Amino acid sequence: MMDFGFYLTPSSTIELDKVDRKAVDDLARADSGFRTCIACGSCTASCTAGVFAETSVRRAILSVLNGRDEKAMDLLSSCMLCGKCMMVCPRGINTRHLILSLQKYYNGK
């Protein structure tokens, strides 16, 4: 293998072929924000809970797209549904609805 001077540790390797596409499609149907998010990070920067805990809508969405549903749930476990992230999202994503859709989907499994 060619040495590029860096490597991916196994824990951060994303095997997109193994991602559960059905879960991604189901969630995108429940809330289009999973498709329209541009990962700008405004939600994370403004998050009320982010000061106290590792909370990030941006990373939760990316985790879903990368097949890491447990990580996505962890990242939103301290969310208080205050809606601040919704007010700053440049794509107008209803983040509270997105968060609730995510929790409903995985808690119902």
Query: Considering the complex, what minimum distance in angstroms separates the CB of residue 55 from ligand SF4?
Result: 5
CB 76 within 8 A of CB 60: yes
Residue 29 touching ligand SF4 (CB under 6 A) = no
Residue 48 touching ligand SF4 (CB under 6 A) = yes
- Judged by CB under 6 A, the stretch of 5-13, 15-23, 63-71, 90-98 that binds ligand SF4 is 90-98
The number of angstroms, rounded, from the C-alpha of 101 to the middle of its chain's C-alpha atoms is: 12
Alpha helices in 1-109 (DSSP H): 21-30, 33-36, 42-46, 57-65, 69-75, 84-88, 95-107
Of 39, 52, 53, 104, the one binding ligand SF4 by CB under 6 A: 39
Of 27, 43, 64, 65, the one binding ligand SF4 by CB under 6 A: 43
Query: Which among 95, 106, 107 is positioned nearest to 47, based on CA atoms?
Result: 95
Place of tokens 């941006």: 58
User: Which residues contact ligand SF4 (rule: CB under 6 A)?
Assistant: 37-43, 47-49, 55, 57-58, 79-85, 89-91, 93, 95-96
